[in-house]
Amino acid sequence: MLSIVELIASFVLVAVAADSFTNAVEWIDARTGLTSSASGAVVAALGSSLPETIVAFIALVVLHDPRSQAIGIGAVIGAPVMLGTVVLCLMGALALARARRGGSAGLRIQVAPTVFGATLFMATFALALAASFVNSRSAHVAAAVAVVLAYGAYLYYHLRVTEPEAETMPPRLRIAPRLQQPPMLLVGVQLLVALAVSAVASRWLVASLSAAAAWLAIAPFVISLVLSPIATELPEAMSVVLWLRRGEDTLAINNVLGAMMFQTSIACAIAMLATPWSLPRAGYLAAATVLLAIAMVVIVTIVRRRVEPLALVMTGLFYLAMIATGAFSHGSLAAASP
């Protein structure tokens, strides 16, 4: 019973932190003149990626033992996989539900920035994966430099994207609801506090899920494969839900793509420099899953000349197919080590 109460409490805390985070990002957009594309791809993506990146850094660099390195590499690979399948699927489903309720049909997202971000992600992730087949320190260093430069190109592109100016102001700042124009200091404080609470609440949620699974006699590998990644990316999923409800489709998609780029470039660079950078079979299957899912989205977007919610929903099928292959059996997970 205590585990269930903790599970509910941690979920509520994650939801509150996600709401405060998205609210702060919207005010950064309003007060600095950043476009929704830049806010989502840079501010929101960097912030929401920071907690799991810190976890990977501690596992890969600080602890540095083989078990910790395996966990760290799993986090580096798992984050873009979850974002590029489950979270994008959620975004598409919410857009379809919004249209059925009489809301705006489709997604109000610029095609060019979306295609650019998704294509650059595929190229960057493919390069990082290719480096894992080469047992050479110099090759890993060169690949790490290349993926970091790719992230720099991603930031440069989105900071130069132009959009029509927004006509509506965001909701009142959560920590200063009486102020119509809150100062940037308060916006920054809310952003940092929301990030800290989100990180703590996500870890609490993972621990609560583990305890609940033990009580329900669920195998530990199910936790490591499904529940823990979902909990880790829950703040991003909550942000997507909130932004789509408010009609901020550009913020939502660029938050997801920006986080995927950050994990694929910065986090992969850390892993390539701090470990031998060799992946188990399960890691390659997961990577192939997200690459195929994003390639499908890019092709449909180019052909249809818009981001189709149904194409985003279909990314979830790739994740289910990955699970259904049976490659992530208990034995393979136990034996897999980078």
pLDDT value at position 331? 44
Of the two residues 58 and 328, the one the predictor is more confident about is 58
Dihedral angle at the C-alpha atoms of 320, 322, 326, 327, nearest 10 degrees? Answer: -160
User: Among positive and negative, which fits the CA dihedral 306, 311, 316, 320?
Assistant: negative
d(CA 175, CA 63): 37
Residue 27 Cα distances to 30, 163, 193, 238, angstroms: 5, 17, 15, 18
Name the percent of the chain lying above pLDDT 70.
Answer: 71
| pTM (predicted TM-score) | 0.77
User: Residue 167 pLDDT > 70, yes or no?
Assistant: no
pLDDT digits (tens, 9 = 90+) for 247-278: 888 888 888 998 899 889 988 999 899 888 88
List of domains in the chain: 2-167+188-325 (1.20.1420.30)
Helix (H) or strand (E) holding 169: none
First-to-last alpha carbon distance for the chain, in angstroms, is: 38
pLDDT digits (tens, 9 = 90+) for 20-62: 877 787 788 777 766 666 766 676 666 667 666 766 677 677 7
Task: Please answer whether residues 70 and 265 qualify as being in contact, where contact means their C-beta atoms are separated by less than 8 angstroms.
Answer: no
DSSP state of 296: H
